[in-house]
């Protein structure tokens, strides 16, 4: 059981380049989300999804796109990278509902992105 898997772990981009951060979970969780963490700060929600085909914006969505074509995968796309997007990105997932263990976030290991 791998949990939440993020790739790549490290990436360096030049300003204006595009890339996709991958996130996959094997727990059949309905809810998936992307956060960014900047030095000395808490996590800020970028985008989230409550199921395949459904996505919505979080606190800081500008400059990022997401899609959810399957339950397992939730990629985060940077269309034109900017230095302000230098950060550590975390993907998280949870089961939804009212049963024990639902709505508890499980995080991936993080992806460190540097934009020059």
3's CB contacts (< 8 A; 6+ apart) are: 25, 26, 27, 106, 108
Among 6, 23, 25, 33, binds other proteins (CB under 8 A): 33
Which residues inside 84-113 make contact with other proteins, applying CB under 8 A?
A: 88, 90, 92, 94, 96, 102-107, 109-110
d(CA 30, CA 50): 6
Q: Does 31 bind other proteins (CB under 8 A)?
A: yes
CA atoms within 13 A on the CB side of 112: 2
Q: How far is the CB of 104 from other proteins (least distance, A)?
A: 5
**Tokens (6 digits) for 45:** 């929600």
Residues near other proteins (CB under 8 A): 31, 33, 35, 40-45, 48, 50, 58-59, 88, 90, 92, 94, 96, 102-107, 109-110
């Amino acid at each position: 059981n791998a949990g939440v898997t993020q790739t790549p772990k490290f990436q360096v981009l030049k300003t204006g380049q595009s890339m996709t951060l991958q996130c996959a979970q094997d727990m059949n969780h309905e809810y998936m989300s992307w956060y960014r963490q900047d030095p000395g700060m808490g996590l800020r929600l970028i985008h989230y999804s409550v199921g395949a085909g459904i996505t919505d914006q979080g606190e800081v969505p500008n400059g990022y796109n997401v899609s959810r074509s399957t339950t397992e995968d939730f990629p985060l796309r940077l269309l034109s990278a900017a230095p302000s997007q230098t950060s550590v990105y975390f993907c998280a997932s949870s089961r939804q509902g009212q049963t024990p263990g639902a709505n508890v976030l499980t995080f991936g290991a993080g992806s460190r992105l540097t934009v020059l």
